[in-house]
Amino acid sequence: MAESFEVLTPLVTPFDADGDLDIAGLESLVRHVTGAGVDGVVPCGTTGEFETLSPEEYRTVVRTVIETTPDDCRVIVGTAATDVATVHERMAFADDQGADSTLVVPSYYGGQASETGNEAFFEHVLADAPLPVYIYNIPGAVGQELSVDTVAALAQSDAVAGLKDSSGNLPYVTSVLNRTPEDFTVYQGHDGLFVPSLVLGGDGGVSALSHLLTDEFQRAGAAIADGDIGTARTVQRDVLAPLSEACGEFGFAPTVKTLLADRGVIDHATVRPPRTELPKDAVQTVTALL
């Protein structure tokens, strides 16, 4: 079991009622989550709807988050793209702004790439990486699972800091932990598996629900470190699991934005297509859960 753990927030990107970038809302959001004590923030990831941002908006989000985040809180910038050149461009910008590291997914267009192809993609990305890189396995969005063999091979690179896994596949996590070096960080990206991953030896979570439930994640992690599996199990089953299931049904960005708007952290729950906002009856359901 993990003796220490981290909780990081994959930031949503606030938009106003018209769908335009809400910079003041983003600053307020960063102050909200960092004030709650998260160990790091991750802008421009999946929950941040990065693929809907224009290049200028992307740079604005990255710059705003880094400028607003306290020095004692890490910033891991999502730098996903389908081509190596754009990944490098985004990495260079993140480095120039003062980010701590970056998060990169496999190329997500063109069908099922071979293991050799995925490994080659990451090797080209890592060749000129100015910052440590976290590999991001998210088959539901990318269309394929990054194989354990590929992760194990990439883990040998000094440029690779670890993995965020959002597959929802615990045997996958176990295999990665068994096949990678001791200092290779494995973050759970599926909130519904935060506690099981820590018990297996994972290093924490990049958890969307930490926008609002940082204390609960920390309570569960501390319980595991103390050997109090009963308390950790209760938090997972009674608090994290129901809301995680709602996120799975309605989407993490729409659900989390609904909850944040309900609590007055952001002004609007606006999302951009192809995501859609929650129906009114669903809003009542998820806010009641919180």
CA distance 89 to 111: 24
Q: What is the pTM of this model?
A: 0.96
pLDDT digits (tens), the chain, 290 positions: 667 899 999 999 999 999 999 999 999 999 999 999 999 999 999 999 999 999 999 999 999 999 999 999 999 999 999 999 999 999 999 999 999 999 999 988 877 778 899 999 999 999 989 999 999 999 998 888 999 999 999 999 999 999 999 999 999 999 999 999 999 999 999 999 999 999 999 999 999 999 999 999 999 999 999 999 999 999 999 999 999 999 999 999 999 999 999 999 999 999 999 999 999 999 999 999 88
Q: Extract the tokens encoding 71.
A: 């020095």
Q: Extract the tokens encoding 43.
A: 């802008």
Cβ atoms of 55 and 49 within 8 Å: the answer is no
Q: What angle do CA 135, 92, 205 make, to 5 degrees?
A: 30
Could you write out the three-class secondary structure of the chain? CCCCCEEEEECCCCECCCCCECHHHHHHHHHHHHHCCCCEEECCCCCCCHHHCCHHHHHHHHHHHHHHCCCCCEEEEECCCCCHHHHHHHHHHHHHHCCCEEEECCCCCCCCCCHHHHHHHHHHHHHCCCCCEEEEECHHHHCCCCCHHHHHHHCCCCCEEEEEECCCCHHHHHHHHHHCCCCCEEEECCHHHHHHHHHHCCCEEECCCHHHHHHHHHHHHHHHHCCCHHHHHHHHHHHHHHHHHHHHHHCHHHHHHHHHHHCCCCCCCCCCCCCCCCCHHHHHHHHHHC
Q: Enumerate the active-site residues.
A: 136, 164
9 in a labelled binding site = no
| Structure confidence at residue 1 (pLDDT) | 61
| Structure confidence at residue 2 (pLDDT) | 61
Domains of the chain: 6-228 (3.20.20.70)
62 in a labelled binding site = no
Residue with tokens 């220490």: 4
120 Cβ contact partners less than 8 Å away, ≥ 6 residues apart: none
CA distance 32 to 239: 20
